[in-house]
Amino acid sequence: MQITNSGKYSSIAELFRVLNHYQLNYAYNGDFTNDLTERILALAETNMDVESESLKIKKKVYFIIVESLQNITRHQGSSKDARLMDGFFSIHKFLGGYLVGSGNAIENNHIKPLSEKLDKVNSMSADELKDYQKEVLSAGGFSEKGGAGLGLIEMVRKSGNKLQYDFDKIDDKNSYFYFQSKITDAQPHENSEIEKHNHEIVKSVHKAVTENNLKIFFQGQFKHENVRSLLSMAEGSIYLTEKFEFKKTSVAIMIELLQNISYHAAGINSSDERPGLFMVADNNNVCSLITGNYIENFKIDALIKKIDFVNSLDDAAIEKLYLETIMLDHNEVKQGAGLGFIDIRIKSKNKIEVEMVPYTDDKTFIIIKANISY
């Protein structure tokens, strides 16, 4: 597959296809607070539990995530320029392991010492790393900015792979620093896209994410416990917490969209799977909450009809439909019974958008987008 990073994509489906190519599981672009990093960790942990990862891999990945998030929060700038201010974090899951990426702005005069530090730990054998770690520890270690490379040494040792990095010049003073660490199990899978693309993965994904104004990306299972962690993570983003009314509306809509996937999405390999997609994007004061999931083809007509109908109604008519729907058979096994889309339409005050991507003969990937102007 030919992948070009051509700036802004015309459809969510196209953007998703590109990010999928990098086997992106999670990404966050923006301001990182300690509260948010805790929520990201909780989400990663639940997600690995849901995916039934081995304890060994889980512990390693968890450690690498903690270190990567710390690197972002420690070096995060305080500028009005989003390119300097925003940190970036991503998790990629591929056959045989994980890749954890991070990005943050650094001053150009830090490039040389940082590169030297990274090259040094990368050049060492396992035994040399062990000795070096002892040496740094006994020397009291914490010389500059709390780091002294101990974290980097541990990252190489725990992941079993060299640390990959890159710099992108922003201006005369600053550059963006890309950093990625790969955690692999015993057998390397040479066919993995992650193996082929190697060092520029985080950089490519960061470009696609920023050029398409994505704040949050999550792809995985939408079981109830995962939805809970995902919601908590999204709520912890500064993007939402700064504006109370906007936050209330966004979270309420997110709840409906995410529950929708956990109730109705079709599985791919088994019927109790709930694979899906969740994204938050922001374009000129319009926040888009986007979900994607598989659906059986025979259900599409009814769903599209429902959404078209909800979209076609004026304010008075949609209020009337809300009241009628809520009084409809309360004990229906299907939980929402259509109230969800009505609620989304009322709260977002915008039409619900739909994109469809054919998947197999009997299933389609359906993308739902709710837009909130603020």
Q: Does residue 340 touch other proteins according to CB under 8 A? A: yes
Q: Does residue 49 touch other proteins according to CB under 8 A? A: no
Q: Which amino acid, residue 262?
A: S
How many whole angstroms separate alpha carbon 262 and alpha carbon 221? Answer: 8
Provide the CA 369 distance to its chain's centre, in angstroms.
17
Q: Does residue 335 touch other proteins according to CB under 8 A? A: yes
The residue whose two tokens read 């899906």 is 276
Radius of gyration of the chain (CA): 22
9, 167, 322, 359: residue in contact with other proteins (rule CB under 8 A): 322
Residues 239-278 binding other proteins (CB under 8 A) are: 244-245, 248-249, 251-252, 255-256, 259, 262
* Segment lying near other proteins (by CB under 8 A), choices 2-10, 101-109, 129-137, 332-340: 332-340
DSSP per-residue letters across 257-318: HHHHHHHHPPPSSSTT--EEEEEEEEETTEEEEEEEEEEEGGGHHHHHHHHHHHHH--HHHH
88 contacts 209 by C-beta, under 8 angstroms? yes
355 contacts 11 by C-beta, under 8 angstroms? yes
Min dist CB 325 to other proteins, Å, is: 9
Nearer to other proteins among residue 251 and residue 356 (C-beta): 251
Phi, psi (deg, nearest 5) at residue 323: -65, -40
Characterise 127 by phi-psi region: left (phi > 0), alpha (psi -120 to 50), beta (else).
alpha
Please list the residues that pair with 296 across neighbouring strands.
363
336, 350, 357, 359: residue in contact with other proteins (rule CB under 8 A): 336
Nearer to other proteins among residue 172 and residue 245 (C-beta): 245
52, 327, 358, 361: residue in contact with other proteins (rule CB under 8 A): 327
| Contact map string, positions 130 to 149, toward other proteins, x by CB under 8 A | --------------------
How many whole angstroms separate alpha carbon 195 and alpha carbon 163? Answer: 14
How many whole angstroms separate alpha carbon 343 and alpha carbon 349? Answer: 10
Nearer to other proteins among residue 198 and residue 335 (C-beta): 335
Residues 3-42 binding other proteins (CB under 8 A) are: none
How many whole angstroms separate alpha carbon 267 and alpha carbon 14? Answer: 22
Q: Does residue 232 touch other proteins according to CB under 8 A? A: yes
Nearer to other proteins among residue 9 and residue 322 (C-beta): 322
Q: Which amino acid, residue 136?
A: V
Nearer to other proteins among residue 186 and residue 333 (C-beta): 333
Min dist CB 60 to other proteins, Å, is: 27
- For β-strands 97-107 and 174-184, DSSP reports them as antiparallel
Please list the residues that pair with 98 across neighbouring strands.
93, 183
Q: Does residue 50 touch other proteins according to CB under 8 A? A: no
Q: In terms of Cα–Cα distance, which of 227, 217, 228, 223 is closest to 288?
A: 217
44, 343, 366, 371: residue in contact with other proteins (rule CB under 8 A): 343
Nearer to other proteins among residue 207 and residue 247 (C-beta): 247
- Please count the residues of this chain forming the interface with other proteins, following the rule CB under 8 A: 31
Nearer to other proteins among residue 95 and residue 346 (C-beta): 346
Q: Does residue 151 touch other proteins according to CB under 8 A? A: no
Binding site residues, other proteins, CB under 8 A: 224, 228, 231-232, 244-245, 248-249, 251-252, 255-256, 259, 262, 319, 322-323, 326-327, 330-331, 333, 335-337, 339-340, 342-343, 346-347
